[in-house]
């Protein structure tokens, strides 16, 4: 399907999902408010009277009265609140499948999170939704939770915590969040479809026949409806999180999910009990606000600088792409080629947003393996032994450029000196973020919502490697080698590398590739001489 048409379908489906979701959640909140606002009317002569309420809206008065089934005669026409729920779930599942289960899992998988395959991830995603419902329903249908509901609440929270941790360590962060949202949404809709409506139907049918109405059915239905209202704010958060990478893109994304969900449930409790129990209401409101503020502060500590938009950006410095041909007087030059033996492995075909897909002539593929005429690009060649005891302070003033273009990093592999500027750029007309995965340097997560946004980082410690990712588009990876010496080179599209101004001596040379691993060679460098070396990689068995 044409990608532009596909994105229109996604937009319309999201529109439907939001509209019916707002309708469903609105009715849930309204009925919870009604049940806690009714006041018994001693003047009511209606059998089964629970309470009534007067409201004003639209230039008129509304008189609502709640009557228990059984004593009350069944009206000829009843309005059932169910289709809002069903359409919310159906549109949500459609979006889940369309976004995460198409394109061989382009948005579903994240190699930096786990090594699961596409079909394994699909099984985990679908299984998490179905198995979670059976667990939740079995738990709340058991006699244990009928007599000790607090145990049910604790086990439900533990299940949610376990699923959040598991999915955030298995799928991409974005996919994990949406699957947790789908899990809770399935609980809510299945509550309506399998528990609330069927039991209400039984009660109505019994009342029509003049038979005794089992009020336990109503209590059970009301209990599930109450569950649903506490799920509403967490589910809304998960629906919105898709647009905020500081949540699902954080290294503690599972914990952020749980804390924000707990805050949503606490704030919902504030509104549910504020008329009947103001003290409890204020307590839970304060808890919810504190949790949200805590998450904001926690994530802010890992955010770093803000990207700044500029009208244009310069190209990567020529020195990054060119291969050195000479060295300083008395120094040596090491140059060569990295070859690949065999047919080039096929990388993953990407299902890209239209703004990125238009960058390519035809299909787009992941760029972790780039081979041209048997020559391998993006191999880091560096000196790993022979420089012991030496320090180098000549840090280049020119920045290393890492661009985001066509929803991929260019270059995918870069190298910078400790203390050298590394400039990240967004050349795409859509939202990216740059999140670091590092053991030695500062962790950061920078939003880059606009084309030509840029920000600069300076890494203070040597590291192999600082990995950068876009959490919005989980296939986007780049590796920045932070070097404490100037003797390194990254192969160009012709597989060429060159390390200049290397003092005479004996060295160990290493070639590293993201997919094919490392190789080493022992070399001897002579003054005013060129040492030629070749590396050859093969496809791993």
Query: Which tokens in the block code for residue 50?
Result: 């629970």
Measured CA distances, 416 to 147, 225, 512 (Å): 63, 57, 15
What's the confidence (pLDDT) of residue 269? 95
418: pLDDT strictly greater than 80: yes
What local confidence, expressed as pLDDT, does residue 173 receive?
Answer: 92
Distance CA 332, CA 6 (A): 56
Distance in angstroms (rounded) separating the CA atoms of residues 359 and 370: 17
pLDDT of residue 325: 60
| Spacing of C-alpha 277 from chain mean position | 38
Query: Strand 496-502 vs strand 380-385: parallel, antiparallel, or unpaired?
Result: unpaired
User: Residue 179 above 90 pLDDT?
Assistant: yes
Least Cα distance to 235 among 183, 308, 312, 161 occurs for 183
Residues forming a β-bridge with 39: 52
The pLDDT score that the predictor gives to residue 319 is 39
Burial class (CB in 10 A: 0-12, 13-18, 19+), 464: middle
As a whole number, mean pLDDT of residues 71-76 equals 78
Q: From residue 154, how far is each of 130, 149, 226, 519 by CA, in Å?
A: 20, 9, 16, 53
Structure tokens, 236: 């809304």
Tell whether the model's pLDDT for residue 351 goes beyond 70: yes
Handedness of CA 405, 410, 412, 417 (dihedral sign): negative
Q: Is the model's pLDDT at 194 over the cut of 60?
A: yes
The two beta strands, 421-426 and 364-365, are unpaired
Cα–Cα nearest to 112, from 177, 172, 164, 165 = 172
Quickly tell me which residue has 């792409």 as its tokens: 321
What is the predicted pLDDT for the residue at 495?
94
Domains (range + CATH), the chain:
3-36+68-300 (no CATH), 308-538 (2.60.40.420)
For the chain, give percent helix, strand, coil, nearest 5: 40, 25, 35
Give CA–CA dist 23/27, Å, rounded. 6
d(CA 111, CA 109) in angstroms, rounded, equals 6
347 pLDDT higher than 80: yes
> CA nearest 316: which of 447, 406, 413?
413
Lowest mean pLDDT segment, chosen from 177-186, 324-333, 468-477 = 324-333
What are the angstrom distances between the C-alpha of 2 and each of 6, 95, 355, 357, 536? 6, 17, 13, 10, 40
pTM, two decimals, is: 0.81
- Which string of DSSP letters, residue by residue, matches 132-159? HHHHHHHHHHSHHHHH-HHHHHHHHHHH
Model confidence band, residue 52 (pLDDT cutoffs 50, 70, 90): very high
CB contact at 8 A, 261 and 177? no
Tokens of 44: 């009511």
Average pLDDT over the chain, rounded to an integer: 90
Question: Which residues contact residue 162 at a Cβ distance below 8 angstroms, ignoring those fewer than 6 apart?
Answer: none
Residue 117 has pLDDT above 50, yes or no: yes
Whether residue 358 is predicted with pLDDT greater than 90 in this model: the reply is no
Rg for the chain, CA atoms, rounded? 30
Q: What is the DSSP string of 194-207?
A: IIIHHHHHHHHHHH
Query: How, if at all, do strands 505-513 and 332-341 pair?
Result: unpaired
Q: Are 384 and 520 in contact (CB under 8 A)?
A: yes
Among residues 309, 299, 241, which one has the least CA distance to residue 454?
Answer: 309
291-343 pLDDT, tens digit per residue, is 999 999 888 754 445 566 555 444 444 334 456 566 677 889 999 999 999 88
pLDDT, position 13: 94
In the predicted structure, residue 530 carries a pLDDT above the cut 70: yes
Question: Checking DSSP bridges between strand 332-341 and strand 530-538, what pairing results, if any?
Answer: parallel
Q: Quote the strand ranges of 290-331, DSSP E.
A: 308-309
Of 480, 449, 488, nearest in space to 464 by CA: 480
């Amino acid at each position: 399907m044409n990608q532009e048409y596909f994105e229109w379908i996604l937009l319309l489906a999201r529109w439907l999902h939001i509209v019916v979701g707002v309708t469903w959640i609105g009715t849930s909140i309204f009925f919870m408010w009604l049940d806690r606002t009714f006041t018994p009317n001693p003047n009511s002569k209606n059998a089964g009277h629970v309470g009534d309420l007067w409201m004003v809206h639209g230039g008129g008065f509304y008189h609502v009265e709640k009557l228990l089934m059984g004593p009350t005669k069944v009206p000829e026409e009843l309005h059932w609140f169910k289709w809002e729920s069903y359409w919310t779930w159906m549109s949500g599942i459609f979006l889940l499948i369309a976004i995460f289960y198409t394109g061989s899992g382009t948005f579903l998988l994240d190699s930096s999170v786990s090594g699961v395959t596409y079909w394994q991830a699909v099984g985990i995603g679908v299984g998490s939704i179905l198995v979670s419902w059976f667990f939740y329903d079995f738990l709340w249908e058991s006699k244990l939770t009928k007599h000790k509901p607090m145990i049910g609440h604790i086990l439900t929270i533990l299940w949610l915590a376990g699923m959040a941790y598991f999915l955030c360590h298995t799928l991409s962060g974005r996919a994990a969040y949406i699957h947790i949202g789908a899990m809770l949404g399935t609980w809510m809709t299945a509550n309506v479809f399998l528990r609330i409506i069927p039991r209400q139907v039984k009660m109505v049918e019994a009342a029509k026949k003049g038979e005794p109405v089992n009020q336990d059915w109503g209590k059970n239905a009301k209990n599930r409806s109450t569950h649903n209202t506490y799920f509403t704010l967490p589910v809304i958060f998960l629906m919105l999180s898709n647009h905020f990478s500081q949540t699902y893109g954080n290294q503690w994304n599972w914990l952020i999910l749980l804390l924000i969900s707990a805050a949503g449930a606490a704030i919902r409790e504030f509104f549910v009990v504020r008329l009947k129990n103001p003290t409890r209401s204020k307590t839970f409101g304060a808890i919810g606000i504190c949790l949200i503020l805590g998450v904001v502060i926690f994530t802010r500590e890992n955010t770093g600088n803000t990207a700044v938009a500029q009208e244009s950006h310069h190209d990567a410095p020529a020195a990054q792409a060119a291969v050195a041909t000479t060295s300083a007087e008395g120094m040596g030059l090491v140059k060569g080629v990295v070859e690949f033996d065999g047919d080039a492995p096929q990388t993953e075909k990407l299902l890209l947003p239209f703004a990125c897909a238009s960058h390519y002539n035809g299909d787009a593929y992941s760029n972790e393996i780039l081979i041209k005429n048997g020559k391998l690009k993006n191999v880091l060649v560096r000196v790993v032994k022979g420089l012991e005891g030496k320090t180098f302070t000549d840090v280049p003033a020119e920045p290393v450029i890492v661009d985001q273009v066509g929803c991929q990093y260019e270059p995918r592999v870069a190298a910078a000196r400790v203390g050298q500027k590394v400039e990240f750029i967004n050349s795409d007309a859509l939202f990216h973020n740059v999140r670091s995965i590092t053991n030695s340097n500062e962790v950061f997560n920078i939003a880059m919502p606009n084309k030509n946004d840029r920000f600069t980082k300076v890494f203070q410690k040597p590291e192999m490697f600082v990995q950068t990712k876009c959490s919005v588009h989980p296939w986007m990876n780049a590796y920045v080698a932070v070097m404490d010496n100037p003797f390194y080179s990254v192969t160009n599209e012709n597989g060429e590398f060159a390390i200049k101004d290397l003092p005479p001596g004996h060295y160990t040379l290493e070639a590293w590739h993201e997919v094919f691993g490392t190789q080493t060679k022992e070399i001897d460098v002579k003054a005013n001489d060129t040492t030629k070396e070749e590396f050859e990689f093969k496809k791993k068995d």
